[in-house]
């Protein structure tokens, strides 16, 4: 299945809740926000970001049994929940 990027709104909500993911503990600057999130909601280490922050890698490693559209639908629901949690 050929991957195409998730239409990220760059709201930064996912990067402000890294405390919810055990594997991202070392990225937490102390208040749940990733220490690599810049003031304008960009990732300071984008090219070297961890697998969990890379939609294509996550899809290919863990969700390749579903379509990209289905995978993006799941991401969209997670984004919505994170934004509702307050970003």
Q: Which positions lie near ligand SF4, rule CB under 6 A?
A: 8-15, 18, 27, 34, 36-37, 43, 45, 49, 53, 79, 82
* Location of structure tokens 């809740």: 17
State the nearest-atom distance from the C-beta of 4 to ligand SF4, in Å.
15
- Least distance (Å) between residue 68 CB and ligand SF4: 15
**Residue 37: strand, helix, or coil:** strand
Q: For ligand SF4, which is the closer residue by CB, 26 or 65?
A: 26
What length does the chain have?
87
Q: Which is nearer to ligand SF4, 1 or 48 (CB)?
A: 48
CB nearer to ligand SF4: pick between 20 and 60 = 20
d(CA 6, CA 85): 21
CA dihedral sign of residues 9, 31, 84, 82: positive
CB 69 within 8 A of CB 3: no
Q: Which residue's CB is nearer to ligand SF4, number 68 or number 79?
A: 79
């Amino acid at each position: 299945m050929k991957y195409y990027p998730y239409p990220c709104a760059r709201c930064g909500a996912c990067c402000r809740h890294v405390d919810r993911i055990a594997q991202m503990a070392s990225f937490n600057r102390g208040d749940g926000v990733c220490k690599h999130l810049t003031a304008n909601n960009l990732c300071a280490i984008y090219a070297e970001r961890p697998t969990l922050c890379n939609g294509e890698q996550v899809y290919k490693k863990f969700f390749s049994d579903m379509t990209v559209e289905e995978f993006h639908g799941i991401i969209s629901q997670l984004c919505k929940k994170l934004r509702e949690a307050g970003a």
